[in-house]
């Protein structure tokens, strides 16, 4: 009996030591849990980011390596690094991206989301990291469109959930639904639509990679601001991201990423 008690006593002592060790070694885990509660992350220690992966030069796959790259991709990576988080991208079609955010599939959207009053009613936004106008793009030599007003009665190619769709419909255009810029520009060059409204930086990048393209910009808006988008319950995460963006702006990282993709700092 004494031997049994001795064994039981040793087991109890060992359990106590292990429990103390677990408490000590578990401090980071408790901290991680607290951070998860604070930020409401989808996955512990990881910033899960939604992006299209087909929207050059903001989010696309490098033709040589196949890696996901782009201006928005690098901005998100820099933010995650500043926050001490891993990063995981979930490539999602634009028309489903906000539904996925609301469903809790990811923490944030990094895909040139323009800030507008309608979106601000439903989502939180970080400090803007891109400032660029929207433009009307037509086939070179088309003199029937020279302003947004001239889109009335014309057909444009737009993603139905984009800010550009709103600009086109407000101007009175008939909209042909597409998934993004690549499909829109293809329809335009084929003569199946009259124009497309999109971001000026996207158009300039397209000309850089397709110098023989017979397209031109005939009108543009005042510059709009794009930012990272979050659900309304992510106030703590937004605050932390804004602090990260401020540091990245101060140390020149934002300007450096802009120079890489556009030859200029496009964050202001």
User: What pLDDT sits at residue 24?
Assistant: 40
- Using an 8 Å Cβ cutoff, are 245 and 126 in contact? yes
Residues 71 and 191 in one domain: no
The model's confidence at residue 138, banded by pLDDT at 50, 70 and 90, is very high
Residues 51 and 116 in one domain: yes
The model's confidence at residue 209, banded by pLDDT at 50, 70 and 90, is confident
Nearest to 198 by CA among 190, 206, 189: 206
Residues 97 and 161 in one domain: no
Residues 146 and 199 in one domain: yes
Structure tokens at 146: 């020279």
Residues 108 and 187 in one domain: no
CATH of the domain at 257: 3.40.190.10
Task: Evaluate if residue 37 carries a pLDDT over 90.
Answer: no
Is the residue at 234 inside a domain? yes
Is the residue at 17 inside a domain? no
Q: Give the list of residues 6+ apart from residue 166 with CB closer than 8 angstroms, or none.
A: 116, 118
Q: How many residues does the chain have?
A: 268
Residues 108 and 231 in one domain: yes
Number of domains, the chain: 2
User: What pLDDT sits at residue 163?
Assistant: 87
Task: Evaluate if residue 255 carries a pLDDT over 50.
Answer: yes
Is the residue at 21 inside a domain? no
Is the residue at 145 inside a domain? yes
User: What pLDDT sits at residue 196?
Assistant: 98
Longest CA pairwise span in the chain (Å): 102
- Using an 8 Å Cβ cutoff, are 94 and 161 in contact? yes
Is the residue at 169 inside a domain? yes
pTM of the model: 0.74
Task: Evaluate if residue 141 carries a pLDDT over 90.
Answer: yes
The model's confidence at residue 46, banded by pLDDT at 50, 70 and 90, is very high
Strand partners, 182: none
Is the residue at 28 inside a domain? no
The arithmetic mean of pLDDT across residues 23-51, rounded, is: 67
pLDDT per residue as tens digits for the range 151-195: 999 999 999 988 899 999 999 999 999 988 999 999 999 999 999
Task: Evaluate if residue 147 carries a pLDDT over 70.
Answer: yes
Mean residue pLDDT across the chain? 88
User: What pLDDT sits at residue 240?
Assistant: 97
pLDDT per residue as tens digits for the range 47-89: 999 999 999 999 999 999 999 999 999 999 999 999 999 999 9
Task: Evaluate if residue 106 carries a pLDDT over 90.
Answer: yes
Task: Evaluate if residue 11 carries a pLDDT over 50.
Answer: no
Residues 116 and 162 in one domain: no
Which residue in this structure is represented by tokens 């639904």? Answer: 177
pLDDT per residue as tens digits for the range 217-252: 999 999 999 999 999 999 999 999 999 999 999 999
Please indicate whether residue 146 or residue 16 has the higher confidence score (pLDDT).
146
Structure tokens at 264: 């200029």
Residues 95 and 147 in one domain: no
Is the residue at 240 inside a domain? yes
Cα gap 143→218, rounded to integer Å: 9
Residues 248 and 215 in one domain: no
Residues 177 and 211 in one domain: yes
Nearest to 86 by CA among 120, 117, 47, 118: 47
Structure tokens at 211: 């110098």
Residues 175 and 213 in one domain: yes
Nearest to 70 by CA among 79, 58, 81: 58
User: What pLDDT sits at residue 185?
Assistant: 96
Q: Which domain holds residue 108?
A: 41-130+226-262
Residues 147 and 89 in one domain: no
Is the residue at 125 inside a domain? yes
C-alpha dihedral sign at 172, 173, 179, 182: negative
Which residue in this structure is represented by tokens 């106590």? Answer: 16
């Amino acid at each position: 009996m004494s031997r049994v008690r001795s064994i039981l006593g040793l087991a109890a002592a060992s359990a106590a030591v292990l429990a103390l060790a677990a408490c000590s070694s578990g401090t980071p885990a408790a901290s991680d849990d607290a951070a998860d509660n604070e930020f409401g992350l989808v996955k512990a220690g990881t910033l899960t980011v939604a992006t299209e992966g087909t929207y050059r030069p903001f989010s696309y796959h490098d033709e040589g390596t196949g890696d996901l790259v782009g201006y928005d991709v690098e901005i998100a990576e820099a933010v995650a690094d500043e926050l001490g988080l891993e990063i995981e991208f979930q490539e999602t079609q634009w028309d489903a991206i906000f539904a996925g955010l609301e469903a809790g599939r990811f923490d944030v959207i990094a895909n040139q989301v323009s800030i507008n009053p309608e979106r601000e009613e439903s989502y939180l936004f970080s400090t803007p990291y891109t400032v660029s106008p929207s433009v009307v793009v037509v086939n070179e030599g088309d003199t029937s469109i020279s302003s947004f007003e001239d889109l009335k009665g014309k057909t444009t190619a737009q993603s139905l959930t984009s800010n550009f769709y709103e600009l086109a419909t407000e101007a009175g255009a008939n909209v042909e639904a597409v998934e993004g810029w690549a499909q829109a520009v293809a329809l335009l060059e084929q003569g199946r639509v009259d124009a497309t409204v999109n971001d000026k930086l996207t158009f300039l990048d397209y000309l850089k990679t397709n110098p023989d393209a017979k397209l031109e910009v005939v009108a543009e808006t005042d510059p709009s601001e794009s930012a990272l988008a979050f659900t309304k319950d992510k106030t703590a995460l937004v605050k932390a991201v804004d602090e990260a963006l401020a540091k990245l702006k101060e140390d020149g990282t934002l300007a450096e990423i802009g120079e890489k993709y556009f030859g200029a700092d496009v964050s202001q």
